[in-house]
Chain A
Amino acid sequence: MAQDILVVGELADGALSATTVELLGAAVRLAEGGRVSVTLLGSAAPAAAAPAFAAGADRAFVSGDGGYEPFRSDPWVAAVQAAITQAQPAVVLLAQSTVGRDLGPRLAFRLDTAAAMDCVQLAIEGGSFRATRPCFGGNALASYSFATSPAIATARAKSQDALDPPRAGATGETVALPGPAEARTEVTGREQAAATGLRLQDAPVVVSGGRGLGGPEGFRLIEQLAAAIGTHRAAVGSSRAACDMGWYPVSQQVGLTGKVVTPDLYIAVAISGASQHMAGCSGAKAIVAINRDPEANIFKAARYGIVGDYKLVLPPLIEAIRALD
């Protein structure tokens, strides 16, 4: 049964965010012939309409007003609410991002409906929308249906597939949204995390260290391992325990409350493999675990493992990787 879907779009560095493209792909599949709309807000929004049509949208609700940047909840809620009023979608999809974490629940309460957060599967079952999400730190999965409409769901990055191939040259309808409503929140400062080359989420290899490193010095070995693999290929991550101790920047935390990474290779060093950590890396194609405890949970998810003290394993591993080819 066809149903209309609205995606709350996000822009990153002037282009559609990767997750928005994925959500549009999911929307086309879920709509089953229904209409897919997208909201685009901010100075780069008008230019993002064409890529959004290629990614699956039939209609774009657009405001190019720079007042929508940086993201503040009040004007965004008002704009998306206006789009929902016009589009009357059965389902509203957002990314589990700074934007979606805020807007998803707020829209749900304002529209007197419900939201499911951080979903990894979105489906139509028996004609109705079904959202599946990890809970209990990733130990369990819960599937929900919705008693009210529209159903609102935020989706985890990389959990959905973009349209492949995209609809090259596709056109669609553009609807203008008004400029930003007043915000009760005033943004007074912003600190960008030090950009250390490759972004964690984009790196094909992630090497992460945990509490078992025993101190910040341990991360020097982790960084050397990443460098041996290649600074253009490998990024360094951290468990929350290590971030909480101040051993590594919060921006590099992998897990439920940190970043979700899906590299080809994830190397977990001195990390026990708590469910909340695995929530951020279980999508990796291969996991390598180095841990001195053979019973550590990380080995249950790992493809390859070494049981041993990282201080003894990493130096020869760095050598052996440098010696490849």
Chain B
Amino acid sequence: MHFVVCAKQIPDPETPPSAFRVDEAKKEVIPPQGIAPVLSQFDGIAAEAALRIKEQTSGTRITVISLGQERARDAIKQVLAMGADEGVLLDDATFQGGDSYTTARTLAAAIRKLGDVDAVFCGRQAADWDMGQVGLGIAELLGWPCAIIASSVQCAEGKLTVKRVLADGFETVRVPLPAVVTVSNELGEPRYPKLQQIMQAARKTVRSMTPAELALDPSTVGAAGARLKLERLFVPVAGGDCEFMPGDTPQAQAVALAKTLRAARIL
């Protein structure tokens, strides 16, 4: 079987809010000083889901694909170190500045080019823009079914069995291959590569694919093809001033809180 993991390199989502800045004129996030970009959390978990199946199904290969600039190579290397077999970097000037539509279109073209893919594993949402569209978009463009927000994924007899997180519980669905699945944190922590695996990953192939190879018209990818136009990007102003409860002991502060909430008619 041949699986694809879609992996995106993003600004660290655990950046403290106090260090988070945007350039409103350029409508861009200003990379925080000294905080390196990371593999989007859910994409590491998507890789984990694919690797768990690979361990149980002999002859399974995993290709990791990332659309991004040169630094996206780090996201690819990380998934290769976890145990994926090969990487594809989609780094071309015409791919930049796109939206969910152009990203899904470009990734779907790369998956089509690989030719023999049985399943695609995406994160439930990229932890930068938090959209949650690309997995479903790839599925629609390829005409495949898609199961979103998975907490476990199993593969047998040409089908994926996916446990999905719903608002009030879980649901188990079965979809025929080829299919796309988007993975959530309830699946569990991604494995941590050993030093030896990191060294091996350095020798694994990362190929690139150009718009021409993918037969993509430059007017349909990147900024030129985007359908969502970002008009404004800004940091909302934070709420009120916190009133700290007076008192020298936890006891006194607790009593002050109860009384304050009562006086404010909140309790």
Taking beta carbons and an 8 Å cutoff, which residues of A are in contact with B? 70, 73-74, 97-98, 101-102, 104-106, 108-110, 113-118, 130, 132-137, 139-148, 184-193, 195, 205, 229, 240, 244, 250-251, 256-257, 259, 264-265, 274-276, 282, 285-289, 297, 299-309, 312-314, 316-317, 319-321, 323-324
Q: Chain B contacts of A74 at CB under 8 A?
A: 145
CB distance from B27 to the nearest CB of A (A): 8
> Known contacts A136-B20, A240-B185, A317-B258: does B171 contact A106 (CB below 8 Å)?
no
Q: Is the interface of B mostly helix, strand, loop or mixed?
A: mixed
> Known contacts A98-B166, A148-B227, A190-B169: does B129 contact A136 (CB below 8 Å)?
yes
Q: Chain A contacts of B14 at CB under 8 A?
A: 274
Closest-by-CB residue of B relative to A145 is B229
Question: Is the CB–CB distance between B258 and A257 below 8 Å?
Answer: no
Assembly CA distance A288 to B261 (angstroms) = 9
Q: Chain B contacts of A256 at CB under 8 A?
A: 130
Q: Chain B contacts of A251 at CB under 8 A?
A: 167-169
At the interface, yes or no: B228 with Cβ under 8 Å from chain A? yes
Question: Is the CB–CB distance between A308 and B253 below 8 Å?
Answer: yes
> Known contacts A109-B136, A142-B232: does B186 contact A250 (CB below 8 Å)?
yes
At the interface, yes or no: B115 with Cβ under 8 Å from chain A? no
At the interface, yes or no: B235 with Cβ under 8 Å from chain A? yes
Question: Is the CB–CB distance between B227 and A143 below 8 Å?
Answer: no
Contact segment of B75-83, B201-209, B210-218, B241-249: B241-249
CB distance from A259 to the nearest CB of B (A): 7
At the interface, yes or no: B156 with Cβ under 8 Å from chain A? no
At the interface, yes or no: B195 with Cβ under 8 Å from chain A? no
Task: Render B139-172 as a binary contact track against A, CB cut-off 8 A, 1 for contact.
Answer: 1110001111100000000000100011111111
> Known contacts A265-B267, A308-B250, A324-B258: does B228 contact A144 (CB below 8 Å)?
yes
Q: Chain B contacts of A97 at CB under 8 A?
A: 167
> Known contacts A105-B136, A141-B234, A309-B250: does B227 contact A147 (CB below 8 Å)?
yes
Q: Is the interface of A mostly helix, strand, loop or mixed?
A: mixed
Contact segment of B52-60, B64-72, B85-93, B99-107: B99-107
- Chain B's interface size range is 35 or more
CB distance from B37 to the nearest CB of A (A): 13
Assembly CA distance A240 to B124 (angstroms) = 15
Q: Chain B contacts of A115 at CB under 8 A?
A: 100, 133
CB distance from B82 to the nearest CB of A (A): 19
CB distance from A202 to the nearest CB of B (A): 12
Q: Chain A contacts of B104 at CB under 8 A?
A: 109
Q: Which of B17, B145, B230 contacts A139 (CB 8 A)?
A: B17
Assembly CA distance A184 to B143 (angstroms) = 11
Question: Is the CB–CB distance between B235 and A117 below 8 Å?
Answer: no
Counting chain B CB atoms within 10 Å of each CB, the highest count among A109, A189, A317 belongs to A109
At the interface, yes or no: B190 with Cβ under 8 Å from chain A? no
Q: Chain B contacts of A309 at CB under 8 A?
A: 250
Question: Is the CB–CB distance between B133 and A286 below 8 Å?
Answer: no
Closest-by-CB residue of B relative to A201 is B167
At the interface, yes or no: B226 with Cβ under 8 Å from chain A? yes
Assembly CA distance A188 to B161 (angstroms) = 9
At the interface, yes or no: B255 with Cβ under 8 Å from chain A? yes
CB distance from A295 to the nearest CB of B (A): 9
Q: Which of A117, A140, A304 contacts B132 (CB 8 A)?
A: A117
Question: Is the CB–CB distance between B229 and A140 below 8 Å?
Answer: no
CB distance from B39 to the nearest CB of A (A): 16
Assembly CA distance A317 to B136 (angstroms) = 47
Closest-by-CB residue of B relative to A137 is B13
Assembly CA distance A104 to B174 (angstroms) = 21
Assembly CA distance A232 to B161 (angstroms) = 39
At the interface, yes or no: B264 with Cβ under 8 Å from chain A? yes
Question: Is the CB–CB distance between A184 and B185 below 8 Å?
Answer: no
Question: Is the CB–CB distance between B251 and A316 below 8 Å?
Answer: yes
Assembly CA distance A240 to B204 (angstroms) = 35
Assembly CA distance A110 to B266 (angstroms) = 48
Question: Is the CB–CB distance between A139 and B266 below 8 Å?
Answer: no
Question: Is the CB–CB distance between B185 and A244 below 8 Å?
Answer: yes
Q: Which of B166, B230, B239, B261 contacts A143 (CB 8 A)?
A: B230
At the interface, yes or no: B260 with Cβ under 8 Å from chain A? yes
Closest-by-CB residue of A relative to B259 is A320
Assembly CA distance A161 to B127 (angstroms) = 28
> Known contacts A136-B29, A142-B230, A189-B172: does B133 contact A117 (CB below 8 Å)?
yes
At the interface, yes or no: B26 with Cβ under 8 Å from chain A? no
Q: Chain B contacts of A300 at CB under 8 A?
A: 17, 238-239, 242
> Known contacts A109-B141, A244-B185: does B267 contact A145 (CB below 8 Å)?
no
Question: Is the CB–CB distance between B238 and A188 below 8 Å?
Answer: no
